[in-house]
Amino acid sequence: MIPIRKPRQGDGTAIARMMRENAAYYARLAPDLFRIPDVEGADGFAGPKPGDNPETALALVAEIDGEVAGYLEARLEPPLESARWQNQPELGTTRLFINFVETAPKHQRRGVATRLVDAAEAWGRDRGASAAVCDTWIDSPLSMPFWRHRMGYVPRGVIFRKTLT
């Protein structure tokens, strides 16, 4: 079993390092879309941000042998006030939005991200979420199979991007 817990002081540096390692992988695949972020000064990165409500914002850490192996941030999206004029029924419900989930490269394919997402989904469900939503890079050889086949998420749309500079 992979322990899941709330972030604590000192996790930020390990999480930033993990994100940097994953970013390097994606920067090699698509350098025009991804960059390698800074690690220095990132200890305060993990966990609740100023103004976060613990009832609507979630941060989780997965550990393997006492080491940060994965990290997830999610939030609850309340029903839209304009839902009655929208054509998507779920916009009138509370939804869980998974901002991101990361696994340290040396711990990938060991169930770390699965445990994190399962925990986030349970948290959202306990708070009335009727659906979970996330986005990911469409050409990712790691995350597309994870979300579709491992976690059972169904693609519902496409995010278009255009460089303006």
Give 87's pLDDT tier (boundaries 50, 70, 90): confident
Distance CA 64, CA 116 (A): 13
Q: Which 8-state DSSP code applies to residue 41?
A: T
99-156 pLDDT, tens digit each = 999 999 999 999 999 999 999 999 999 999 999 999 999 999 999 999 999 999 999 8
Q: Is the pLDDT of residue 14 over 70?
A: yes
Q: What is the pTM of this model?
A: 0.90
In the chain, the domains with their CATH numbers are 4-150 (3.40.630.30)
